[in-house]
Amino acid sequence: MSHLPRMRRTLLILSMLSLLALGGAGWVQTRSLGDNPLSRHALAPSDQMRLTGFVEERLPAGSYLYLRVRTPDGSRHWVATLSTAASRESAVQVQVFARADDFHSRRLGRDFSPLLFGSVQAAPSASR
């Protein structure tokens, strides 16, 4: 049972990546590719990265959640993800698979530069 949330998250991420790949290939396309921030901002596998840090701020926006994550070196990154259980001050690990240098959230009425897109999971505690 303890693996169920991890499996669910993994399936969700794989589904998102599959839709991204199929959308880019023209197979599944409900909107134009220009409207899909993941297709426009997807990182090459060699450019994808992992961040570890603490959640400083959470901004719910429909099915997405924006998190401001502070890494151990003090840098701050905005990350858009699907809803997660990560609460403020939680230690998290982010697998980043897309980046937008200038992103405007219509739902939040706010600009993010840059905005990282990725999957978020709990991380082992690190020093603040």
Q: Are strands 115-122 and 76-82 parallel, antiparallel or unpaired?
A: parallel
Residues sharing a CB contact under 8 Å with residue 46, sequence separation 6 or more, in sequence order: none
CA-closest candidate to residue 120, choices 2, 1, 10: 10
For residues 11 and 59, the answer to whether their CB atoms sit within 8 Å is no
Query: How does pLDDT run across 40-56, given as a tens digit for each residue?
Result: 777 777 877 899 999 99
Higher pLDDT: 108 or 35? It is 108
Taking every pair of C-alpha atoms in the chain, what is the biggest distance, in angstroms? 45
**Mean pLDDT calculated for residue range 44-73:** 91
Higher pLDDT: 3 or 7? It is 7
- Taken in order of first residue, the domains within the chain and their CATH numbers are 33-122 (2.40.50.140)
